[in-house]
Chain A
Amino acid sequence: MPSVRLNINGEDQVVDAPAGMPLLWVLRDFLGLTGTKYGCGIGVCGSCTVHVAGRAVRSCSIAVEKVTGPVTTIEGLSANGDHPVQLAWLAENVSQCGYCQPGQVMTAAALLAAHPRPDDAAIDAAMSGVLCRCGTYQRIRLAIQRAADRP
């Protein structure tokens, strides 16, 4: 089984993974990072979103050997759960079941890293592929606006 070098949440890791194995399952089953969720397996729900080299990536749809930058998962977004996006999520009481929220938070954090003051169109463009069955979208928008320090 090929060895793959990864940098996950600031730590270098070598994992033995079959070629083609999605990053999602390496994170969850090999590294115990279960905050990244399986939702659809085909890159249409966004629950599995992580950052690769700072960009939001669907970890279910990228083979682990194709990962070419440092990976940040929800566990590594902040040391104490105090990333501005996480704090904004709590302030707006966004989550209901919480299952999709790691993907929502990671997508929003990548958006704000690239566009610190996104307008509504930019928020729509970034967030519309991340599904929430509980229907927390209105609060997600408020939380992103709060994290962006924008009325």
Chain B
Amino acid sequence: MTTEMTRRDFIKATTLTGGGLLVTFYLAGCGPATPTTTTGPRTTPAATGPGAAVTPDPGDPSATIRPNLFVLIDGSGGITVTASRSEMGQGVHTAIAMIVAEELDAEWDQVRIVRAPADRALGDQVTGGSASISSMYDRLRRAGAAARQVLIDAAARTWAVEPDACRTEPGIVVHPDGELRLTYGQLVSAGIPDEDIRVNRVEPWKDPAQFRIIGTPMPLRDAPDHVRGATLYTNDLTLPGMRYAAIARCPTFGGRVLGYDRAAALAVPGVTDVAEVDGGVAVVADHTWAALQGREALAAVWDLGSLAGVTSEEIRQGLVDSTPAVGTDSISASYDIPYLAHAALEPMCAVADVRSDRCEVWAPSQDAQGFQTAVQQITRLPREAVVIHIPPIGGKFGRGLYVDAVPEAVLLSLQLGAPVKLMWTRDDDMRHDRYHAMSRYQATAPASGLEVPRVREILATSPIPTGSWRSVRNHPTAFARESLIDELAVARGMDPLRLRLDIVGVEARRVIELAAAESGWGDPLPTGWGRGIAYHATFGVTHVAEIAEVSVDGGRIRVHRVVCAIDCGTVVNPDTVRAQMEGGIVFGLTAALKDGITVSDGAVVQSNFDDYRLLPFDEMPEVEVHIVPSSARPTGVGEMGVPPIAPAVANAVFDATGVRLRSLPLRL
């Protein structure tokens, strides 16, 4: 396909959407006081080593070209890549920039990243399903290659040579004679007319064998700011005249407020307003602490609504096994998981600034355009007047797909006529999540033969909200299927590794064999220890095997070592793949070993990290990650480390104790 993108097209596109992208671009680099901020350019020590600073191109930094929506090149040779998906720790911004830089043949240290606001011109911006890179890979490569072609064409015109006879080195177009050179910055400084920023053809994309950025471990661009405390998350933003809000919420879902002490809240120094909002009462103040104190002072009384008296045990009664539709020579078992909270360290929050003709929102969103639609519906402003900024996100794991805090902040800003920062407290975040559904997964397989167990999902009608939680159904599906395979192996008197190798396909076999070899499957373990394996292809695309070594002591399960093997196609950033596997394993271990969410009298019982515990530092197992080399398309890594770990640990517990655990969290 021929790409044809011009700067005029870009300007047209952004004019249609209110100039949000242009605003972002021109604000880039204005410093931390500006809520719309940028990432980079940074010379990170790990990337270049000390003293390897890039000499700036002595060009005109005010001259720019934008060959397409994703790439801007300035006269100093700086490359600005627009990242259209949300960065929440999964490394997507760095990966997006790496792909563009690869095809553009850019100097990596000259690349900076800007976060895009909601903008339909950028295509799908939903950050979910671990699909950002897999869905954008070709588009980003094309964007980089097209920009490179513009520069090659400009140099060829200057030299009056054939473009196809020129080549590039990082940041430089090289004359066919091999001697003359023009840097990207020089070419842009010299001026490239609009009509020449039209690319009717793109040189063939790079042969992956020539990749020098894709496949190389790169530090996340955000990391230097992280360790200096300089990253500005949503809750760190301040706008002139901004008010701070907290909301007293009905502990149940769907209840309403019966009464509250408005005067007591207003008597708290710094509290200026009290307003009823959907599902609660907002206290607005000069600063966060006053808002929180005012919320306490409300002493709100609630009508718990239709959920009064409801318990999670009752909800669990609705998880009824169906009769397996198989013959008598089958084996079937049911596996239960509880409600689970996302529990990101950054709680839900939003900053909203609603004016008569414009609304700006900053929120940790995984769905910028969906949030834009929601805000548009509230404010009735034209779409282009609703600007949704996505600051760096403090983890979200699916929670950021749900808009909840944003309408609250928007309505308060509308009501007060001032910018509002709304922070959910930890208690709000834990008790008003969209939980992973409490569910039962029934796995069935013939007692003999080479068939992978079939898994059926049984959901109770949930009166409390449920939603996408890192890996969604893959977590319980893997727990059921991979546990049942172990049960089958026991029934047949087989090694569970052997049985898996007999029944799975070729990609699965590759990661299972790799994990088994690296873990020393079959080697003796200390007394009281056990070893378990599980494999899962999350969303059917990324193959991951994990082998856990555990000890059981007085009913306490301790995971000592996890060996992970992954096949995710082409690896863009190997360090990110490792980090996501390490992190996914920790996320899954928390679900396997710690706490579920329970409901009592219609309300979520757990309210903080003391009763919804996360795996702590001293329970971190040694994790090894092994990556299968591949030149296939990238398939995604953000969620894929999670599903295999709970069944791997449950199978290891069986190996250690002979006790089969079919409910999460695992309790002996």
Chain A residues engaging chain B, CB cutoff 8 angstroms: 1, 18, 21-22, 25, 28-30, 32-42, 44-45, 47, 73-75, 77, 81, 86-87, 89-91, 93-102, 105, 124-125, 127-141
Contact = CB atoms under 8 A, between A and B. Distances in A.
Interface in B219-234: 219-220, 222-233
Nearest to A22: B289
Nearest to A25: B289
A74 B231 CA distance: 11
Interface stretch (B117-125, B313-321, B378-386, B583-591): B583-591
Interface in B198-240: 217, 219-220, 222-233, 235-236, 238
Contact of B623 (A105, A125, A138): A138
Contacts of B586: 132, 134-135, 137
Given A41-B425, A129-B616, A86 B394 contact: no
Contacts of A74: 228-229
B269 interface: yes
Contacts of B616: 128-129, 131
A95 B395 CA distance: 11
B609 interface: yes
A35 B225 CA distance: 10
24 contacts: A29-B287, A30-B287, A33-B229, A38-B235, A39-B345, A40-B426, A40-B609, A42-B608, A74-B228, A81-B227, A96-B90, A96-B91, A97-B88, A97-B345, A97-B395, A98-B226, A98-B231, A102-B227, A128-B616, A128-B618, A133-B344, A134-B395, A139-B579, A140-B617
A99 B236 CA distance: 11
| B interface bracket (residues with beta carbon within 8 Å of A) | 35 or more
A144 to B, nearest CB: 10
B620 interface: yes
Contacts of A100: 345, 394
Contacts, number: 191
Please name the 4 residue pairs, one residue from A and one from B, whose CB atoms are nearest each other, closest first: A35-B229, A135-B586, A97-B89, A99-B394
A77 B236 CA distance: 19
B513 interface: no
A36 B233 CA distance: 11
B255 interface: no
B423 interface: yes
Nearest to B641: A135
A109 B235 CA distance: 25
A143 to B, nearest CB: 10
B610 interface: yes
Contacts of A25: 287-289
Contact of B345 (A77, A89, A131): A131
